[in-house]
Amino acid sequence: MDDMDSRKAPRGVRDILPVESWKWAYVLNTAAGVMTHFGYSEIHLPVFEHTELFTRGVGDATDIVEKEMYTFTDRGGRSLTLRPEATAGMVRASLEHGLCGDLSRGQNGKLWCWGPMFRYERPQKGRYRQFFQIDVECLGLPSPVADVEVIALSAEMFRRLGLKNLEVVVNSVGCPKCRPQYREALISHFTSRKEGLCETCLGRLERNPLRVLDCKKPECSAIANDAPAVYGRLCEECAGHFEEVKAGLTRLNFPYRLDKRLVRGLDYYTKTAYEILSGDLGAQNAVCGGGRYDNLSESIGGPPMAGVGFAAGIDRIVMVMEQQGVSFGEKPRPQVYVVAQDGAGSCPEARNAAQVLTHRLRTKGIAAEQDGGDASHAARSFKAQMKSAGSVGATWACIIGPEELEKKLITVKNLQTGEQAPVPFEDVESHLA
């Protein structure tokens, strides 16, 4: 166990500091724009749900449920779990509030959310115990058009963010009708090379052979590479659906790679599975993963309801953008720095006037800062204040000293050109264009 130190965040959990948080805001704003253009509405979900939602909605046989959930009993004796992902909660909310299929109430089943997810994983670069996802779900639409839309949405989001070097990887995992046959083919392949598999995969072999395909250990990887592909074993419906998805991606000019090892190993995941990988992320190289889950609603006790969606990791998106030197837009900065020239405390009125002007500019929608308002020591020298104005990146300095006070003026200085001019106190705003 880690050393307990209440002055430090728990292992695997981190603060997103101001040096980074403005980049997150840029990512989320950009994502929100894409959602609007694709017709998705934002929803805010609780961060904890009944544990059963995840055991049934993510699946008992997944690593997430078996090993990674933060589960606790509340004071009322209920078993609750911090959400390890958002899809199950999305489906639960949609069932609870009838969010799907009532177009007259604007409920088209197209939803997105973002927020923290929690998994007890081994922390490493790009992998945290509290991490953030943008989650998009298209509920109630069984058509392959929805799969293509969701994949296109994720790709468009990354395009707008300026991410480079990405690859869309797709596969189909069939459905409960055709999967048993594929399972048999996998079991027989893996059994024939059983001695080469890792301990965990040996345990999975009969129970969930699809997950052996997913194993990243080199010994299993080699065997999984030789495993039979699902193509040719899909039922007519799944095969037709897959063809339509591929045709749609081609129609929209999205290059993709087929990967027979990309799977979601549970019965309620159906048909499409996909990921978007970054060539710049190392081992944890997925920026986004998703697929179709037409049987998930029933598995949590709801009526049949189709669904397809994806989750993208915000931590990783920001990491890749930083690595690729992609722009996050302009960092928020004060437009104006108000400088009080009070001659070593001899003119407190200048400071008072600076306070009034700073507040006035702010209420007019102009980002303004003043001495003492930026974690520095208040009542600093004129020179120190001018230096701060430069270092916070202000475009303008508004200078107030005894002379300005007397004439009811402000000296407005353009910090880029060095030009300055006296301006009536009431007119400052109009000189800041």
Contact residues: ligand AMP, CB under 6 A: 85, 119, 121, 126-128, 131, 133, 286-289, 311-313, 315-316
Residue 230's SS3 state is coil
| Residue number, 206 or 322, with CB nearest to ligand AMP | 322
Residues in CB range of 284: below 8 A, 6 or more apart? 124, 125, 126, 127, 316
Residues in CB range of 63: below 8 A, 6 or more apart? none
137 contacts 309 by C-beta, under 8 angstroms: yes
Tell me the closest approach of the beta carbon of residue 235 to ligand AMP, in angstroms: 25
Judging by DSSP bridges, how do beta strands 368-370 and 336-340 pair with one another? parallel
Closest CA to 85 of 123, 57, 110: 57
| Residue number, 83 or 233, with CB nearest to ligand AMP | 83
186 contacts 260 by C-beta, under 8 angstroms: no
Residues in CB range of 131: below 8 A, 6 or more apart? 116, 117, 119, 313, 314, 315
| Residue number, 210 or 336, with CB nearest to ligand AMP | 210
| Residue number, 287 or 405, with CB nearest to ligand AMP | 287
84 contacts 51 by C-beta, under 8 angstroms: no
DSSP characters over 181-211: HHHHHHHHHHHHTGGGS-HHHHHHHHH-THH
Cα–Cα dist 33/150, whole Å: 15
| Residue number, 259 or 429, with CB nearest to ligand AMP | 259
Tell me the closest approach of the beta carbon of residue 264 to ligand AMP, in angstroms: 8
Nearest residue by C-beta to ligand AMP?
313
| Residue number, 63 or 374, with CB nearest to ligand AMP | 63
Tell me the closest approach of the beta carbon of residue 81 to ligand AMP, in angstroms: 15
Tell me the closest approach of the beta carbon of residue 291 to ligand AMP, in angstroms: 9
Tell me the closest approach of the beta carbon of residue 18 to ligand AMP, in angstroms: 21
Tell me the closest approach of the beta carbon of residue 132 to ligand AMP, in angstroms: 8
**CA 389 vs CA 70, 360, 361, 397: distances in Å:** 46, 18, 16, 7
Instruction: For residue 358, give the amino acid letter.
Output: T
Tell me the closest approach of the beta carbon of residue 127 to ligand AMP, in angstroms: 4
Cα–Cα dist 205/224, whole Å: 12
| Residue number, 83 or 241, with CB nearest to ligand AMP | 83
Cα–Cα dist 399/422, whole Å: 9
| Residue number, 17 or 433, with CB nearest to ligand AMP | 17
> Would you say the C-alpha torsion 54, 58, 59, 63 has a positive or negative sign?
negative
| Residue number, 152 or 311, with CB nearest to ligand AMP | 311
Q: Would residue 174 be called left, alpha or beta, if left means φ above 0 and alpha means ψ between -120 and 50 degrees? A: left
Residue 432: count other Cβ atoms within 10 Å of its Cβ: 17
Cα–Cα dist 235/102, whole Å: 31
Cα–Cα dist 349/357, whole Å: 12
| Residue number, 212 or 312, with CB nearest to ligand AMP | 312
| Residue number, 139 or 287, with CB nearest to ligand AMP | 287
Tell me the closest approach of the beta carbon of residue 417 to ligand AMP, in angstroms: 45
